[in-house]
Chain A
Amino acid sequence: MTGLYAKNYFELFDLPKSFDIDTTALRDRYRELQKTAHPDKHAAASDQQRRISVQFAAQINEAFQTLREPIARARYLLSLHGVVWRDENKSLNDPDFLMEQMALRERLEELYQGAQTSDDLIGILDEIESKMASMVAHLSRCFESGSEADFREAQIIVQKLQFFSRVREEAEEATL
């Protein structure tokens, strides 16, 4: 992080480097940090100080965005543990999961095309939500154990969650 003293996002918010975090504390501290760094607090200062404040405020925003959302938080935590993320869509080698995803997409596609009732869509969304919730719980257990095998497992779960997240986004858009 350029300029910021904190070595990572967790340290910035004075939170332990773990997957399970106190989200209320995160939000409260986010506000406290922005009360100090935000450019509006330096509106009357020199150009230099305003530039630094924009940089700091942007990094605090980035850190907050990353930590508040479980998938982004898991990705970040894994990258702190040395995981390098690259071209992920190809590297997921799990035919069963991919079949399951395709089936899910087909069901949704039918609903988008046909005279879908929003109840049907909401039913599928609930299904997706509960799947994602149990995967996040699984992630949490992997991070807690911290073994090499569990980190690899966590990586795969994150990739799967990203699939679900994209499908959920589309389905939600369709309910609007």
Chain B
Amino acid sequence: MALLQISEPGQSTAPHQHRLAVGIDLGTTHSLAATVRSGVPEVLPDAHGRYLLPSVVRYGAGGAPQVGHEAKDKAGADPLNTIASVKRFMGRGIDDIRKTVKKLPYEFVDSESAMPRIRTAAGDVSPVEVSTEILKVLKTRSEGSLGGELSGVVITVPAYFDDAQRQATRDAARLAGLNVLRLLNEPTAAAVAYGLDRGSEGVHAIYDLGGGTFDISILRFSRGVFEVLATAGDSALGGDDMDRVVAEWIMQQAGIGDDVGHGQLRRLQRIACDSKEQLTESDSVEIVADLETGGQWRGWLTRETFNALIEPLVRRSLLPCRRAMKDAGIGLDEIEDVVMVGGATRVPYVRTQVGNFFACDPLVDIDPDKVVAVGAAIQADVLVGNKPDDELLLLDVIPLSLGLETMGGLVEKIIPRNTPIPVAKAQEFTTYKDGQTAMQIHVVQGERDLVSDCRSLARFELRGVPAMNAGAAKVRVTFQVDADGLLSVSASEVASGVQSSVQVKPSYGLTDSEIAQMLRDSIDHAQDDMAVRALREQQVEADRSIETIESALAEDGDKLLDADERKAIDNALEALHAARIGSDHRAIKQAIAHLDTVSHVYATRRMNASIRKALTGHKVEDIDI
């Protein structure tokens, strides 16, 4: 007699249906991956039992790049080919980089493209490609550890990352062959890791000082929903800056000039970083620096001096804290606690200053290096469908206002910062010349009034506007920001309904065709593999469409559809089933599109029905749609 299979409530009885998913914290100084196994989140170690992968990539002549510890150890000896802290350059133009970094640590290639490239022994590489190498290592590590291909990943980004920085991160993941379920804001991920642990309802502050970025998020946790009320930050402030001021202090004390070589500078930064870490435990630390002229410099750095050196940096982090509180409309007395995230929050001075500011003891009981990856893993597990009945929901906001360039180089805001996402806003534009058939639109992100003070995200041209008298043609442009914080744009002419084509040219970052090219380059038998890939993609989407519609029909097809509608959907389903068996990816795509068209009204009705049910508790059959 077969034994009865008994499982925990909410867990699948069929273990093979468990999909593999990981959360990845792609950090400035180090990166790591975590997963949920048997309901318990765990961080995945490498073969040597190490969890943290240094975010360092070394490009030697010939051979695959070295990533992680090996590369980090070579940074002093081979500084120009060893790329560290590349996150600081993600989604940035070369001019931005020059503004934030006093001395460029690598040889940047002069080129027309806004996307910076770094010259290495293995050729020129972009920050996106460097990040891809880090992600590939974590992908291999995760698949080795979990024993199979990953269904999807959640990758964390600083909450304060703008659209270009998010897009660059997504591109890096695409190039690494990862299916990104979601870009998740780092402080939100940390809140998930903490919140689920404690079930603490109320308003919390998350202070996240990483290697190169700073975020503050104010969020409310209530009945499984994390609602971000406001976020603020500084995407160029972190533990790296502490290392830099300490390195500068050593140079000053040791009489080392600004013309110091790249190798020496990297060694000094390493010493500075080690000293910073030791000062968490000790009151003072001895520093020994080899001089390029031969000889050595020895000196002591006390915690007091260190605190004085980093004081301006810590103070800089408190301004965004005040702004986030103001935007959230929350008073200090309403904050339950402040959660400390990121390696730099180990510094005692940071803890006391933040504790003073929020007037409470900072929470430090989850390893600040791991908490973000753990939160991402929990969300990945839910998104991939392993916990269908989970209550967890993260409601996030857009960190920086989106605006359009208007006359005189001024910005007109269309979506203010801290608006909940997803969000869609439509704006109408008109022609100013008779017969005009195209319009230029420039999208920027930032809080300032002048276009030149904001980040340029994209410029695009609306073409195919019907020729009319000036002011007669009205083009409605819709800006949509999805749950990842990524912008997309669509446009149509209001009177004629003509859909204008939108060519978005990202001001920084890669165009879709560049990515396609890179993907082709990375695959040996380009043609065959691309075709196989395209077919596979369509098959996956076909299965998803079939599964979605069939389970919907079984649930409420009889209630929400009349006979004709039902017939049309059944026919389209049958056609898709037939195409799915074949090997023509175009035919599958077409069949999916047809099913989409005939079932659109039904899908909308279903969503409406479930929304009404959510509020009223009525059963679907009670509702007239």
Q: Contact residues of A with B, CB < 8 Å?
A: 3-5, 13-14, 29, 31-41, 43-49, 52-59, 61-62, 64-65, 172, 176
Contacts and interface: CB of A to CB of B under 8 A. Distances in A.
Contact of B422 (A36, A48, A58, A65): A58
10 contacts: A5-B608, A38-B483, A39-B422, A40-B394, A41-B393, A54-B483, A55-B424, A58-B424, A58-B480, A62-B424
B424 A14 contact: no
B133 to A, nearest CB: 27
B395 A4 contact: no
A31 to B, nearest CB: 5
Contacts of B616: 14
A40 B615 contact: no
Interface string B410-431: 0000000001111110000000
B520 interface: no
B423 A45 contact: no
A65 B607 CA distance: 21
A57 B611 CA distance: 11
Contacts of B610: 36
- Minimum-distance CB pairs A-B, first 6: A46-B548, A46-B545, A5-B608, A43-B383, A44-B385, A58-B424
A50 to B, nearest CB: 9
Interface in B201-250: 222-225, 227
Nearest to A14: B615
B607 A3 contact: yes
B541 A31 contact: no
B611 A39 contact: no
A121 to B, nearest CB: 13
A32 B596 CA distance: 27
Contact of A3 (B419, B482, B604): B604
Interface in B463-486: 480, 482-483
B442 interface: no
Interface of B: 181-182, 222-225, 227, 319, 322-323, 326, 379, 382-385, 391, 393-395, 419-424, 480, 482-483, 541, 544-545, 547-549, 592, 596, 599-600, 603-604, 607-608, 610-616, 625
B599 A48 contact: yes
A61 B420 contact: yes
Given A39-B422, A52-B607, 10 more contacts: A3-B607, A31-B222, A36-B613, A46-B541, A48-B599, A55-B424, A61-B420, A62-B424, A64-B420, A172-B326
A104 B394 CA distance: 41
B326 A5 contact: no
B487 to A, nearest CB: 13
Contacts of B326: 172, 176
A39 B483 contact: yes
A14 B489 CA distance: 32
Contact of B419 (A32, A65, A172): A65
Nearest to B320: A176
B188 to A, nearest CB: 12
B569 to A, nearest CB: 12
B393 A34 contact: yes
Max chain A Cβ within 10 angstroms of own Cβ: one of B323, B393, B541, B613 = B393
A40 B383 contact: yes
Contacts of B227: 31
B421 A61 contact: yes
A7 B457 CA distance: 35
Nearest to A37: B611
A56 B611 contact: yes
A176 B482 contact: no
Contact of A38 (B319, B385, B393): B393
A46 B544 contact: yes
Contacts of B422: 39, 54, 57-58, 61
Contacts of B614: 32-33, 35-36
Nearest to B380: A43
A43 B385 contact: yes
Contacts of B393: 31, 34-35, 38, 40-41
Contacts of B545: 46-48
A37 B607 contact: yes
A172 to B, nearest CB: 6
Contacts of B541: 46-47
Contacts of B382: 40
A124 to B, nearest CB: 16
A173 B225 CA distance: 30
A160 to B, nearest CB: 21
A62 B423 contact: yes
Contacts of A55: 424
B223 A61 contact: no
A102 to B, nearest CB: 20
Contact of B544 (A29, A45, A64): A45
Contact of A34 (B225, B604, B612, B625): B225
A101 B379 CA distance: 49
B603 A52 contact: yes
Contacts of B625: 5
A88 to B, nearest CB: 15
A38 B483 CA distance: 9
A44 B611 contact: no
Max chain B Cβ within 10 angstroms of own Cβ: one of A3, A39, A46 = A46
B384 to A, nearest CB: 7
Contact of B384 (A43, A52, A53): A43
A1 B540 CA distance: 32
Contact of B391 (A35, A46, A57, A176): A35
Contacts of B596: 46-48
Contacts of B222: 31
B323 A53 contact: no
Nearest to A60: B611
A35 B225 contact: yes
Contact of A54 (B482, B600, B615): B482
A144 B600 CA distance: 41
Max chain B Cβ within 10 angstroms of own Cβ: one of A4, A44, A52, A172 = A44
Contacts of B181: 43
Contacts of A40: 182, 379, 382-383, 393-394, 483
Contacts of A14: 615-616
Given A5-B625, A61-B422, A31 B223 contact: yes
Nearest to B546: A46
Contacts of B225: 31, 34-35
B607 to A, nearest CB: 6
Contacts of A54: 422, 480, 482-483
Nearest to B225: A31
Nearest to A32: B614
A38 B395 contact: yes
Contacts of A46: 541, 544-545, 547-549, 592, 596
Nearest to B419: A65
A4 B592 CA distance: 24
B548 to A, nearest CB: 4
Contacts of B383: 40, 43-44
